[in-house]
Chains A and B, each alone.
Chain A
């Protein structure tokens, strides 16, 4: 079992202003947008409030079987539903990952919210982009490990999306490295720190990675679908 933890630098995760504006809904971000100064000031402060931690566990080769659900050493591990299972064909191992910006980031948002809702929203948006970026970097690391094992990777999937019930976060958390025991799962399956993402990536010699798009899933209110539609 491979167990890796990373401390990505805050700088490696910082989004540029245009990305932040797009995330906020603006389809054609202008260089001199009226929010640019506020965003720039906020970006300068991010490092003080961020403690990025990301890591994954890669289950042993051939320990996973996929049929209508995911079996680990012949015992039921996850039931992500037919949409995700259709993407996990030929998977023989799994990487289970988590990335978080840390608790200080949540406290920062909470504090600023009392004074300036607009800046709190800017911080929240930056945080969402940073934690996604952390998972992108984690995905690269998982791909490299898979290459060493002569395996390929699927897309990443998280409980709560593509009709995978969020309750399965509990099973997922049991598999996470001990370094992450400070990340808590609420009874509602909400993670704290709030700016955290957990999920799985399937691995296998004969895995075919299909580009991620919303045709997999018919959840009309999914934030990814709404975001894609806004970008059109």
Chain B
């Protein structure tokens, strides 16, 4: 079983979704994350073990390589796709409580901004790390963040912006959320942002890549 868990982690790290997926070329025709997860479930491997010892290490390794500049966005995207394929098999166990999530994350690109590739990657990495992610999409107003927080008050908020003007919108959103939910942690991401900016507007941190955010969130549990 340990071997299969290791193979699953490699399939996710390398972005091998299933037997028919073309990536990576050197694993063409070989089983992927879907098949390994399926076999593990057939062998009665606990779903929580599959998540923690198979999927998460794979996502963690590729996330670290991305943060270190060894791989680029395409590798993260195919890894996330492989992870998602495995996740579909675990979904029933999340739903019935057999696998517990680490917590809830509400994420969105702030009002006025329609960029979402970076935000989508963060969603996939956090899901792969065991978080329940509520993706509010793009052009998210502070009211929409608040409404979602009212529904899931224990959540962490992640905000993204790619424009210098929407950074101002981010400030308004952070202020409004902190007034209503002072204990809620708010983390920022996006190319034009910095840690100084996050400090200045009262957010709890800035992360330049999904891996460092995921590591921070898990470290704070």
Number of A-B contacts (CB under 8 A): 67
A121 is contacted by which of B69, B77, B169, B194 (Cβ under 8 Å)?
B77
Q: Identify which of B55-63, B106-114, B127-135, B152-160 touches chain A.
A: B106-114
B194 touches A188 (CB 8 A): no
Minimum Cβ distance to chain B for residue A97 (Å): 20
B72 touches A118 (CB 8 A): no
B117 touches A124 (CB 8 A): yes
A190 interface residue (CB < 8 Å to B)? yes
B74 touches A189 (CB 8 A): no
Q: Tell whether A120 pairs with B117 under 8 Å between CB atoms, given A160-B164, A189-B165, A221-B192.
A: yes
Cβ contacts under 8 Å, A222 to chain B: 192
Q: Mark A102-114, 1 if CB is under 8 A from B, else 0.
A: 0000000000010
A160 is contacted by which of B80, B111, B124, B163 (Cβ under 8 Å)?
B163
A117 touches B120 (CB 8 A): yes
How many residues from B make CB contacts under 8 Å with A? 29
A166 touches B163 (CB 8 A): yes
B24 interface residue (CB < 8 Å to A)? yes
A188 touches B72 (CB 8 A): no
Cβ contacts under 8 Å, A118 to chain B: 74, 77-78, 81
B74 is contacted by which of A24, A187, A226 (Cβ under 8 Å)?
A24
B73 interface residue (CB < 8 Å to A)? yes
Cα distance A134–B99 in the bound complex, in angstroms: 51
A117 touches B194 (CB 8 A): no
B53 interface residue (CB < 8 Å to A)? no
A121 touches B112 (CB 8 A): no
A221 touches B194 (CB 8 A): yes
Q: Mark B51-94, 1 if CB is under 8 A from A, else 0.
A: 00000000000000000010011100110110000000000000
A25 is contacted by which of B23, B72, B163, B165 (Cβ under 8 Å)?
B72
Cβ contacts under 8 Å, A166 to chain B: 163-165
B112 touches A34 (CB 8 A): no
Cα distance A186–B165 in the bound complex, in angstroms: 11
Minimum Cβ distance to chain A for residue B139 (Å): 9
B residues near A, CB below 8 A? 22-25, 69, 72-74, 77-78, 80-81, 111-114, 116-117, 120, 124, 163-166, 169, 191-194
Offer 28 A-B interface pairs, CB within 8 angstroms, sorted by A: A24-B73, A25-B69, A25-B72, A34-B23, A113-B120, A117-B81, A118-B74, A118-B77, A120-B117, A121-B73, A121-B77, A122-B74, A160-B165, A165-B164, A166-B163, A166-B165, A188-B165, A188-B169, A189-B165, A190-B112, A190-B163, A190-B165, A192-B114, A221-B191, A221-B192, A221-B193, A222-B192, A226-B191
